[in-house]
A and B are shown apart, each in its own frame.
Chain A
Amino acid sequence: MSQEPNPPSLEREPVEGTCPRCGAAELSRYPVNSEGGWFDVVKCRSCLFSVSRDPGPRLGPVQLLSDLL
């Protein structure tokens, strides 16, 4: 039995700035799924404060060919 050596991991894009709640300079941008579906968030890695939460693509990483119609 084996598992792949490098299983998928979500990459977080570092964002300049400090957290307005805890002051940590650990902001990063990434997609999350929560109440309301997908969001592109900028969050503090230290205290999880959401600096911004913008609605993301309806199906996240899944793209429908029919959306091109």
Chain B
Amino acid sequence: MTTIEEPAGRIRDLTDEQFQTAYHADRFTGSVIVNRLKYAVGHMSTAFLREAFSPIIRDWYDFACTISGPPAQDYGMAVVSNSLTPFLGTMPDATRNAVEEFGPENLSPGDVLICNDPYRGGRHVNDVLFTRPVFVAGEIVSFVTMCAHQLDMGGTVPGGFSATKTNVYENGLVLPPMLLWAKDQPVRSTFSLIFDNTRWGGLLLPDFQSMHQQLQLGERLVRENIERYGLDAFLGSLAYACDTSAEQMREAIARIPDGDYSGSALIDADGLDDTVDYRVRVTLRKRGHDIEADLSGTSAQARTCINCGVLDAKTALGVALTMLLDPAIPFTSGTWRNVDLVAPPGTLLSALPPEGAPMMFWEPSGALISAIFEALNPVLGERAVGGDYGSTNTHNASGVRDDGTPWTSATQCGGEHGPWGATKEGDGDSYTVLYNLNNLDPATETIEHDSPVVMLRKEHAIDTGGPGKHRGGAANLKDTLWLTAAAQHLSPFRTKEPSGVGADGGKPGPTGAMWIFPPGEGTSGPDGLLGVSSDVYARSTPVAGVLDPETKALDPEKGVYHYFASQKAWLTEAGSVLRCLTNGGGGWGSPFEREPAKVLADVRDEYVSVEGAARDYGVVVVGDPHFDPEGLRVDEKATTRLRSGRSDERGVS
């Protein structure tokens, strides 16, 4: 097999001869092969998305595809699909760890090796890694790999999304590296192991079969490249892809001033009780073109399953550095070549078995991204980025319909989607997923078809984008009406402190909350839409958030924290309404430098209230945005007076 060594100089400075020597292909061919492999993972993804039965695959895009090098290239992950970063970031190590434990010498053409152990491969037990070796002349030359969320992998909570499980035995079925297909024949004992220990096998089975097909497709497309361009050029191109990422990250790191930069972020509580909150801490030591990220000081691992493994922390580190330093860097194994993660064992970000299992893994790893943003934003100046809504506030519910059939709804009706922060380029997006995710949003029609629920409201909440020259994305407000009794597992983790940190003088976005409104006495549901003013909450049952004890409305300054797992499952009557309000995204730049015309547009679109325009932006808007939006105007003289009288808001001393 060809040995690939990293070239000494910058790749772009290599002569054609040097490039050929390094990568066994000319520059053009190397690029063509890498792009053809990107097509391969894209094609695998499209086919799986089209065929998948499971809603979390079909509607959420909760899977990823990669192509990695052989053992001789240390399994370098060279090409990834445009999908979930928690999957992509962990898949290089997951593939290596699974194959090395199983033994590459024990693999044959047509095998599909699976593994879902968070400690071996990251993420949580629902995310199963499926990897298939590609053989040429009896030797493994590559791996095509998929990782896909299975709707259920056993454990004490249907669907798994809960913060209350305390150890790996409650968490779900753990699969070590084992064959699911051997020489393209299904291994019945492995299928039985899974289906005998998980729920909804009827959905899992066709998805498994589809993944088998996509892995065969991926292998076929890899082989076509090898046949067309030769094995040496193929392997060289894999190395070229990884080296490109490494070089771009190395140069991006070098642009930061040397120094030690620290940040932190808070997780409200775990699923046991609210007596302990959890702080993620990171210190980034930057010297030259190297970064060492030290997680020392991060809280000890939680008592219930809100932890993540070290590979998820490493992924978050790669995601945050890519977003902040150069979003154009391809996400490959090379991303981490000049980045070392220092992780004391047994923290919230580096949990150890068997206690404190990883399940809600993206929550602490997302908090690490926030902490890295907080650490680096001050030194990045205008390249700083506002924080996101911080928690997917995951919802998971189950119940029984009137005809006796069971139903479940997972990750559809909480605050799973929300805003991003603003950047120097513009306002933050208002309805997407966390920085360390990359999913779709399920369609309302699908949600209402699959579960006995009516989506009453799904809208941007007013005055929730962090003020700034560029405004943070608006929080999302979602009301759902449940038509049968339900057991609801609700997991909002970051309501005590704003997660949407400000950037370059911008203000943070506010915190959110969750409430349940029981049906009125003698009724089967609400008479109409719940209002959005603060006086509607008095009759609610608060689930989470820092709220006024009397009115139960948001009061982040003087309010009382409400603990999301004070009931392990929130049991609701038919006709109850669940309201989820996410945190807001962080603003970028001084709010008083926002153009008044943009503030006027925000008022017209009800991102910002008339009062908020004056309070947060120093812009006086006259008129009625709701009943006469086209009649709104800016009072320029009053705005000038207001802004000049509050120059401190612009950071002017």
Q: Which residues of A contact B (CB under 8 A)?
A: 1-4, 7-10, 30-37, 41, 43, 46-48, 58-62, 64, 66
Contact among A10, A34, A41, A47 for B344, CB-based, below 8 A:
A10
Chain B, interface size category, equals 35 or more
Given contacts A8-B296, A32-B292, A32-B340, contact A59 B345 (CB under 8 A): no
Q: Would B347 and A8 count as touching, CB distance under 8 A?
A: yes
CB distance from B246 to the nearest CB of A (A): 7
8 A Cβ contacts from B313-365 to A: 314, 333-337, 339-347, 350, 352-353
Q: Would A1 and B336 count as touching, CB distance under 8 A?
A: no
Contact among A4, A34, A61 for B341, CB-based, below 8 A:
A34
Q: Cα distance A28–B119 when bound, in Å?
A: 27
Q: Cα distance A35–B269 when bound, in Å?
A: 32
Given contacts A33-B340, A35-B334, A35-B336, contact A7 B292 (CB under 8 A): no
Chain B residues with Cβ below 8 Å from A35 are: 76, 92, 242, 246, 333-337, 339
Chain A residues with Cβ below 8 Å from B533 are: none
Most buried by A among B101, B297, B340, B561: B340
Q: Would B343 and A3 count as touching, CB distance under 8 A?
A: no
Q: Would B290 and A48 count as touching, CB distance under 8 A?
A: yes
CB distance from A9 to the nearest CB of B (A): 4
Q: Would A3 and B276 count as touching, CB distance under 8 A?
A: yes
Q: Per-position contact with A for B269-304: 1 when CB-CB < 8 Å, else 0?
A: 100001111110100010110101011111110000
**13 additional contacts, CB 8 Å, given A3-B277, A36-B333, A62-B119?**
A1-B269, A3-B276, A3-B299, A8-B300, A10-B294, A34-B336, A43-B340, A46-B287, A47-B287, A48-B340, A58-B96, A60-B310, A61-B345
Q: Cα distance A41–B279 when bound, in Å?
A: 27
CB distance from A26 to the nearest CB of B (A): 12
CB distance from A18 to the nearest CB of B (A): 16
CB distance from A25 to the nearest CB of B (A): 16
Q: Per-position contact with A for B612-629: 1 when CB-CB < 8 Å, else 0?
A: 000000000000000000
Q: Would A30 and B342 count as touching, CB distance under 8 A?
A: yes
Q: Cα distance A59–B351 when bound, in Å?
A: 12
Contact among B96, B290, B339, B345 for A8, CB-based, below 8 A:
B345
Given contacts A1-B277, A8-B347, A66-B176, contact A47 B288 (CB under 8 A): yes
Chain B residues with Cβ below 8 Å from A30 are: 342
Interface of B is mostly: mixed
B470 within 8 A of A: no
- The total of Cβ contacts below 8 Å across the A-B interface reads 104
Q: Cα distance A48–B76 when bound, in Å?
A: 24
**Chain A: CB-nearest residue to B118:** A62
Chain B residues with Cβ below 8 Å from A61 are: 345-346, 350, 352
Contact among A34, A41, A66 for B337, CB-based, below 8 A:
A34
Q: Would A33 and B276 count as touching, CB distance under 8 A?
A: no
Given contacts A35-B334, A36-B74, contact A3 B352 (CB under 8 A): no
Q: Cα distance A36–B314 when bound, in Å?
A: 12
Q: Would B341 and A32 count as touching, CB distance under 8 A?
A: yes
Chain B residues with Cβ below 8 Å from A33 are: 310-311, 314, 340-341, 343
Given contacts A8-B347, A34-B337, A35-B333, contact A59 B120 (CB under 8 A): yes
Given contacts A7-B297, A30-B342, contact A58 B314 (CB under 8 A): no
Q: Would A59 and B119 count as touching, CB distance under 8 A?
A: yes
**Chain B: CB-nearest residue to A9:** B296
Q: Cα distance A34–B311 when bound, in Å?
A: 10
B100 within 8 A of A: yes
B93 within 8 A of A: yes
**Chain A: CB-nearest residue to B290:** A48
B97 within 8 A of A: yes
Chain A residues with Cβ below 8 Å from B275 are: 1-2
Q: Cα distance A32–B293 when bound, in Å?
A: 9
Q: Per-position contact with A for B152-180: 1 when CB-CB < 8 Å, else 0?
A: 00000000000000000000000010000
8 A Cβ contacts from B506-560 to A: none
Q: Cα distance A7–B281 when bound, in Å?
A: 10
Chain B residues with Cβ below 8 Å from A37 are: 93, 96-97
Contact among B97, B288, B336 for A48, CB-based, below 8 A:
B288
